[in-house]
Amino acid sequence: MKSIWIALTYIKGLGPKRIKKVYIEFPHLTFADFKGPNLEKIKKIIGNKKVSETLSDIELIAQYTKKAEETIRLHEKNDISVVTIADNNYPELLKKIDDSPIVLYCKGDVDLLQQSKSIAVVGTRHPTAKGEGMARRIAKIFSEKGYVIVSGLALGIDTEAHKGTLEVNGKTVAVLANGLDTITPKENKKLAEEIVQKGGLLISEYPIRTKTFRAAFVQRDRIQSGLSIAVCPVQTDIKGGTQHTIKFARSQNRLLFCPTPLEQVPATRGIEALLKEDALPIRNSHDIVIVENSISKRLQELTNSEEIPVKLEQTSVVQLDLFD
């Protein structure tokens, strides 16, 4: 029942983490659970007095449920699919993070939500020309290998990642920090349209008519990494928005890999630091194979699937530089 999960997001003081705990115990939650013996169990899971009082107000829950049903209809009229955490097509990797978004509003090919072979290509809004080229190149390489490229539709590296994917007819997912009735930044409105037209997907955890707010951009970053098995920061300084995605990637046990910088500028300082810590480097075709094998192992760890490793000998004879 989609509407009950959306209704819970309307309750003040009840965030994704607590709703996720309810989902774990009651994956088939219905409106009836708020009128029967399960209500006390739900309130115990929530562990908040004020929220519990709201949950006990069955008339208010009914109002929120009706509002949720209206929200679903409104989005469907705008060709936007609504996917809740209880739906079968909710992304498997995203469901594994602690603060999974309870609702995803999607425009485009929702089947991409089922693709676990996804990587996020992210970075600064102010890249160098070499950084832009790297982002496009990385997106193209992995798109041609069958990966879905996830990014945030921001100016700079995100834009280049989406464009690079589309240039080779790959599939890309853009995660927005606002409702899908508004494209931010406005400079990327045509790019967003092209993503949908070419079989990609726009997603947001916010319904249409939601005003943009600063914290939403940070929260968006957890979804970018959460949808992906690996995250590739292309260029970033020591401080900046990309660092949020890197932090989320680590807490979510995602693989980190980066292109080896070809220049020493502020936009590469964060990358240099990452490569000294835990990120895998990519400089040539041999490195790509190593990254792919690491992705396969990480995917197997997180999903208990059996990924076939790439044979190193296939490309180790000729090591082609990727960014010269």
Per 3-state DSSP, the chain is made up of helix, strand and coil in percentages (nearest 5) of: 50, 15, 35
Each residue's pLDDT tens digit, 8-36 = 999 999 999 999 999 999 999 999 999 88
Contact 19, 9 (CB under 8 A): yes
For 25-59, letters b (16+ CB in 10 Å) and e give ebeebeeebbeeeebeebbeebeeeebeebbeeee
* pLDDT band at residue 232 using 50, 70 and 90 as cut-offs: very high
* Residue 322 pLDDT exceeds 80: no
* pLDDT band at residue 315 using 50, 70 and 90 as cut-offs: very low
Q: What is the pLDDT of residue 312?
A: 47
The rounded distance, in Å, linking the Cα atoms of 226 and 99 is: 10
Q: Where are the domains of the chain?
A: 2-77, 110-314
CA 148 to mean position of chain CA atoms: 11
* Residue 306 pLDDT exceeds 80: no
* pLDDT band at residue 303 using 50, 70 and 90 as cut-offs: confident
Count of positions (residues) in the chain: 324
* Residue 133 pLDDT exceeds 70: yes
Q: What is the pLDDT of residue 305?
A: 66
Q: What is the CATH number of domain 110-314?
A: 3.40.50.450
Each residue's pLDDT tens digit, 74-111 = 999 999 999 999 999 999 999 999 999 999 999 999 99
Share above pLDDT 70 across residues of the chain, in percent, rounded to a whole number: 94
Tell me what the mean pLDDT of segment 282-303 comes to.
Answer: 93
Tell me what the mean pLDDT of segment 128-145 comes to.
Answer: 96
* pLDDT band at residue 1 using 50, 70 and 90 as cut-offs: confident
Q: What is the pLDDT of residue 318?
A: 41
In the chain the first and final C-alpha atoms are separated, in Å, by: 53
The rounded distance, in Å, linking the Cα atoms of 197 and 231 is: 25
* Residue 70 pLDDT exceeds 90: yes
Q: In what order do the strands lie in the sheet with 172-175?
A: 81-84, 103-108, 201-204, 172-175, 148-151, 118-122, 230-233, 255-259, 280-282
* Residue 197 pLDDT exceeds 70: yes
Q: What is the pLDDT of residue 309?
A: 55
Contact 221, 197 (CB under 8 A): no
Average pLDDT, the chain: 93
Q: What is the pLDDT of residue 313?
A: 44
CA 250 to mean position of chain CA atoms: 14
The rounded distance, in Å, linking the Cα atoms of 294 and 313 is: 16
Q: What is the pLDDT of residue 212?
A: 82
* Residue 252 pLDDT exceeds 60: yes
Name the amino acid, one letter, at 131: G
* pLDDT band at residue 204 using 50, 70 and 90 as cut-offs: very high
The set of residues, in sequence order, having a beta carbon less than 8 Å from that of 299 and lying 6+ positions away, is: 116, 117, 229, 305, 307
* Residue 320 pLDDT exceeds 60: no
* pLDDT band at residue 59 using 50, 70 and 90 as cut-offs: very high
More confident residue, 121 or 321: 121
- 169 — alpha (psi -120 to 50), left (phi > 0) or beta? left
